[in-house]
Structure 1
Amino acid sequence: MRLWRWILLLVIVAALAAFGWHWVAADPGYVLLRLRGWRVETTVVAAVLILLLAWGLLTALWRLLRWPFGAFSRRHRRLSQQRMSDGLTALIEGRHGDAERDLNRASRLDSLRGPALLAAAVAASRRGEHGRALEALSQASQSAPQAARVLRARLLRHEGKPAEALALLAPESDKGTLTPGGWRELALAALANGDIRRAREALDPLQRSGSLGSRAYVALEARVLTAAINAAPDGAALNTLWSQLPKAQRRVPAVIDAYARRASGFGLVLPAMDEVESALRREWSPLLIETYGSLPGDDVEPRLRRAEGWLDAHPNDATLLLTLGRMCVRLKLWGKAHQYLQRALALAPGAGAWEALGDAYAGQGDAAQAQRCYRNALAFARGEAVTPLAQRAQAGQLDTQPIAIEERDEHGVPRLRG
């Protein structure tokens, strides 16, 4: 298709040139130029060609005259670009002193002044030279005011001054003119300063900007909403806040966990349990399984039976096994507790499982084994080696191997394993 377009265009140009030539040839026009005895006669076409040629010669002569004077500026531009490249490379490699030096030199070129000073401020901050970083940001604010403001707020927050960072970003936040990076810094500074309202206000523009990936935004959203839930002064305020949250936010597992624990703290165990069970029916979540088993209440026995029913679909879930073991400890079902907890330790060793197993031994009056389990929990949390329990302490020969789950295709027919 492009070849036919070019051919058609060439035909049109040739036709226009032919008609134009005949039109000019019929009457080429007449131009007379007389100056101090000089007399020049020519046609209009020739006069136009002479003017174009003269303009081209003057342009070439002007560039030739300017070339020696532009050599220094071209060398300065080339060196500045090279220093900018070297400075950014040094910044990534951790050579912050070299990076700051090269970037400050690169900032002498006007076109690179803003980015170079911003990067130099980052290099100075990583060296611990906060005064030099703030000085570089003051200079960068003349070329890139918004970026310098966001970076200054980040440095203040890292220095443990969230109130100053929040005060720096608040005016633009009220106007709604913050950049995506500014909204993120505002949310983090507000969280650190305890201003939950401003942190929540930053979520909506940050989500609309799409500057954060889905995982990063969900993590920040969960932090903000968890802080808002934990700040609720009583059960009524908590329920009001929960009812005002959008449905999507009320389905985040970390947010549900925070609500359930806060609600149970106010004595609202049934609403907390309803939210956790509804979430587990929608989607399996190890975090909410742990929440389900740790909530207070007198209905531990029916909760245990309900959780044991989930083993058919999740037989190798260590969090579910730990939750079952903890509930068995609360009900003083020592045999079941040992079975679930030892299987959980075999699948995914953890400090929580060792601690729960220690509670089981302590409940049975075996102080020596309980102390060994507690020491193992502490050692695991520190990253140290744990001490295996004596064989006599094992409740028989338990099968701790992962259970093979039957796989089925989209028609429900079991798949054959090769």
Structure 2
Amino acid sequence: MKLLLLFIAALLTAAGIASYTAAESGFVLITILDWTIQTSVTFFLTMIIVIFVLIYFSIRMFLQIWDAPGELRRWKKQRRQQLSGEYLSRGLLALVEGRWKAAEEALIKGVRYTNNPLINYLCAARAAQRQGKIAQRDQYLGLAHAGNPDAKIALGLTQAELQIGQQQTELALATLTHLHEQQPKQKQVKVMLLKTYTELEAWKDVLQLLPELERTKLLSKENIIAAQLQAYAGLLRETGSNANKRQLVNVWSTIPKRLRRELHLLEVYTTEKLKFADTEECEPLLKQALKIRWDVEIVRLYGLVEGKDPVRQLVFAESLQAGHARDPVLLLTLGRLSMRNSLWGKARSYLKECIEIRPMPEAYRELAVLLEKQGDYSAAASYYQQGLSLATAVARHDSVKLLEQAEEEVTIAAGARQVV
């Protein structure tokens, strides 16, 4: 288009000159050796312009032909970039939509058109894992590492995340530990280490890592506290399961006071202490907690622990009836404490009232034990049977709910596979 405009401009210029010189007489005489050329001024000027235009276009054409290979290379480069972007966009879109096979195919096709296939391989590894192709996933990760040896952190984090998603938690821990040794200040590695330690229930490692996460503000204060509570609770259960009473007490003493006030930790500690039939120290802790706030689980545990003074323990429990007189868990606790004080009639009354309000297997059992102590074996057997039937029904109901939930999850998963 530019060349055409230039050519038209040259013609218009020549026409203008011809028009201007038409009225003028005169000629041009050129002598070269024995050659003499004579022509009009108009024709001479016109020929000068025509020759200039021809030379100009010849030079332009020569330069274009000379630059043709470079132009072809630039076109091919642009075309490769365009195809690379198209395949990457198509693959990422399919990945987001859950079309794993289509995502993998598009991403791998795009590898041949890109100079940096890191993202293609990493995303293809995710798509392969969602299809259960673990060997293919590892192959993509290996290719990504071979092509980008400097991207160790990105590769390692992706590999660990995929390993966690595939329940390969031990392998993920090894990957993250290696990364942490190489880059101890890398933030995301620390966050994923916390997640992996939690999955493995390595509570001591969690507690060791949390101060660093808190200091660098990688987690909010609320998340730090939640992680601490979870870790200490897990450590208490782990110690209790190992039947180490002294170690259980030591763990409890290492918990910061501000966290020992948390009802959840107090529940876990008391539950584990009950395994050793040594709960005297727990009674004042539970009592203090109930003075501050009502909690049904703490009330239940208060009826199971044995304090120094069972009479005062019962008196305090009865004081909780203000505002909670018909709470079935409180009535169960009062029944248990009354039995511990040999107040059989009061215990029987509390337990029967509990059963009337809400039948519970524990209440039936306690009432059966009470009747057995009083020699009423027939009635005791009846309550044992009723409690067992109720416990069986509750267990069956819970099992049915779990089965229905599992079936629903399987149905959803099957539907997702059909969509893919």
Q: Please tell me the TM-score bracket, short chain as reference.
A: 0.5 to 0.7
- Distance in 2, matches of 1:124 and 1:140, equals 14
**How far 1:234 moved relative to its partner?**
4.5
- Distance in 1, matches of 2:97 and 2:79, equals 27
- Distance in 1, matches of 2:112 and 2:192, equals 27
Number of matched pairs = 311
| CA gap 1:117/1:181 in 2 versus in 1, 3 angstroms | farther
User: Pick from 343, 354, 357: which aligns with 1:340?
Assistant: 354
User: Pick from 118, 127, 134: which aligns with 2:131?
Assistant: 127
**RMSD (Å), alpha carbons:** 4.1
Does 2:156 match 1:136?
no
Does 2:317 match 1:307?
yes
Q: 2:210 aligns to what?
A: 203
| CA gap 1:385/1:178 in 2 versus in 1, 3 angstroms | closer
Q: 1:82 aligns to what?
A: 90
- The one-letter amino acid paired with 1:130 is I
| CA gap 1:69/1:316 in 2 versus in 1, 3 angstroms | farther
- Per-residue deviation, residues 14-60 of structure 1 (Å, max 9, x unmatched): xxxxxxxxxxxxxxxxxxxxxxxxxxxxxxxxxxxxxxxxxxxxxxx
- Per-residue deviation, residues 334-358 of structure 1 (Å, max 9, x unmatched): 221121243245xxxxxxx234324
- Per-residue deviation, residues 251-280 of structure 1 (Å, max 9, x unmatched): 332222222334454565233223333333
- The one-letter amino acid paired with 2:320 is W
Q: 2:396 aligns to what?
A: 382
| CA gap 1:383/1:230 in 2 versus in 1, 3 angstroms | closer
**How far 1:103 moved relative to its partner?**
4.8
SS at match of 1:308: helix
Instruction: Please give the residue correspondences for 1:42-121 in structure 2 after superposition, counting only pairs within 5 Å.
Output: 69-90=77-98, 95-105=99-109, 113-114=117-118, 117-121=121-125
User: Pick from 274, 281, 292: which aligns with 2:291?
Assistant: 281
Does 2:226 match 1:226?
no
- Cα pair 1:358 1:369 within 8 Å, conserved: yes
SS at match of 1:248: helix
Q: 1:53 aligns to what?
A: none
Q: 2:12 aligns to what?
A: none
- Per-residue deviation, residues 170-201 of structure 1 (Å, max 9, x unmatched): 3444635352532323422552xxx4432221
- Cα pair 2:280 2:306 within 8 Å, conserved: no
Q: 1:177 aligns to what?
A: 186
Q: Which runs of 5+ in 1 are unaligned?
A: 1-61, 346-352, 387-418
**How far 1:383 moved relative to its partner?**
1.6
Tell me the TM-score normalised to structure 1 length: 0.59
- The one-letter amino acid paired with 1:360 is L
Identity %: 22
- Cα pair 2:318 2:334 within 8 Å, conserved: yes
- Distance in 2, matches of 1:149 and 1:316, equals 58
Instruction: Please give the residue correspondences for 1:154-303 in structure 2 after superposition, counting only pairs within 5 Å.
Output: 154-156=161-163, 162-173=169-180, 175-177=184-186, 179=188, 180-191=190-201, 195-207=202-214, 218-232=225-239, 234-265=244-275, 268-296=278-306, 299-303=309-313
**How far 1:89 moved relative to its partner?**
1.4
- Distance in 1, matches of 2:172 and 2:196, equals 8
Q: 1:400 aligns to what?
A: none
SS at match of 1:312: coil
- Distance in 1, matches of 2:83 and 2:233, equals 56
**Structure with max Cα Rg:** 2
- Distance in 2, matches of 1:111 and 1:287, equals 61
Structure in which a larger fraction of residues adopt helix: 2
SS at match of 1:81: helix
- Distance in 2, matches of 1:201 and 1:243, equals 17
- Cα pair 1:355 1:374 within 8 Å, conserved: no
SS at match of 2:234: helix
Tell me the TM-score normalised to structure 2 length: 0.59
Does 2:386 match 1:372?
yes
Q: Which runs of 5+ in 2 are unaligned?
A: 1-69, 372-376, 401-420
- The one-letter amino acid paired with 2:352 is H
